[in-house]
Amino acid sequence: MHRNELENYLNQLLEISRFQDYCPNGLQVEGRDKIGKIVTGVTASLALLKAAIEQGADAVLVHHGYFWRGEDARITGMKARRIELLMAHKINLFAYHLPLDCHLEFGNNTQLGKRLEFIETDRFGEQNLIVGGKLNMPVPLHVLGEKISQVLAREPLVIGGAEQIIRQIAWCTGGAQGFIDAAITQGVDAYLTGEISEQTVHAARESGVAFIAAGHHATERYGVQSLGEHLASTFSIEHQFIDVDNPV
């Protein structure tokens, strides 16, 4: 398919115009016109780009791209090496941040909730980024932690009493620890995200709302995979997800 066709389709599907984001969503680096193979990944790191080149990709689709608000705008150092590689091989880079977090079918939050068998009931908080829901059946916090560890193949950091019963839960993938106050206000038993900050521990302890940090990368692997699979089944293109491990 043509690059412009793919860009227009993705921009409309993910409704990028309704988000106030920290980076540009959509096509970030222009490559060749025709796209027959897409490689997806979480972050457009040098390692992912090199792997995409080895796989003969025409486009790379990621959650974390470039040109973040407040960063140095100059194309130097690490940024120069990444963009130089993309342009030398005429590979397109598409990146979708908050739109990919929030999408009701392909979003990171939706896909993580499905894998953990959470039942979504509502969305709330800034730009409706946080998902509220419940478990299939109430379980002690340590049991929920064990399940998360099995599903994500990553040991989560859990703040709360091991035997605390979890019925209602809120979640938001990635670096959304700052939303814990909004989760507390909703009256949930636990809040799950990717990262944790020092003050988050105190907020969890003092509110009685358990906090689960399951990994920024680990919680955001699934949205871009499902989106890539959708594109492959909808259009005559190949898709391959490449997971460049990140311990955070």
Q: What are the sequence ranges of the domains in the chain? A: 3-97, 108-218
CATH T-level topology, domain 108-218: 3.40.1390
Band (26; pLDDT cuts 50, 70, 90) = very high
Q: What percent of the chain has pLDDT over 90?
A: 100
The answer to whether 3-97 and 108-218 have equal CATH topology is: yes
pLDDT at 227: 98
pTM as predicted = 0.97
pLDDT at 242: 98
CATH architecture group of domain 3-97? 3-Layer(aba) Sandwich (3.40)
pLDDT at 165: 98
pLDDT tens by residue, 31-84: 999 999 999 999 999 999 999 999 999 999 999 999 999 999 999 999 999 999
Question: Which H, E and C letters describe the chain, residue by residue?
Answer: CEHHHHHHHHHHHCCHHHCCCCCCCEEEECCCCECCEEEEEEECCHHHHHHHHHCCCCEEEEEECCCCCCCCCCCCHHHHHHHHHHHHCCCEEEECCHHHHHCCCCCHHHHHHHHCCCEEEEEECHHHCEEEEEEEEEEEHHHHHHHHHHHHCCCCEEECCCCCEEEEEEECCCCCHHHHHHHHHCCCCEEEECCCCHHHHHHHHHHCCEEEECCHHHHCCHHHHHHHHHHHHHCCCEEEECCCCCCC
pLDDT at 222: 98
pLDDT at 13: 98
Q: What percent of the chain has pLDDT over 70?
A: 100
For the chain, the straight-line distance linking the first and the last C-alpha, in angstroms and rounded, comes to 35
Band (20; pLDDT cuts 50, 70, 90) = very high
pLDDT at 97: 98
pLDDT tens by residue, 138-179: 999 999 999 999 999 999 999 999 999 999 999 999 999 999
pLDDT tens by residue, 100-137: 999 999 999 999 999 999 999 999 999 999 999 999 99
pLDDT at 36: 98
pLDDT at 224: 98
pLDDT at 143: 98
235: three-class secondary structure by DSSP: coil
| 115-to-61, 119, 124, 180 alpha-carbon distances in Å | 22, 11, 21, 22
pLDDT at 79: 97
Query: Are 101 and 223 contacting, i.e. CB atoms less than 8 angstroms apart?
Result: yes
Band (223; pLDDT cuts 50, 70, 90) = very high
Give the pLDDT mean for 231-240: 97
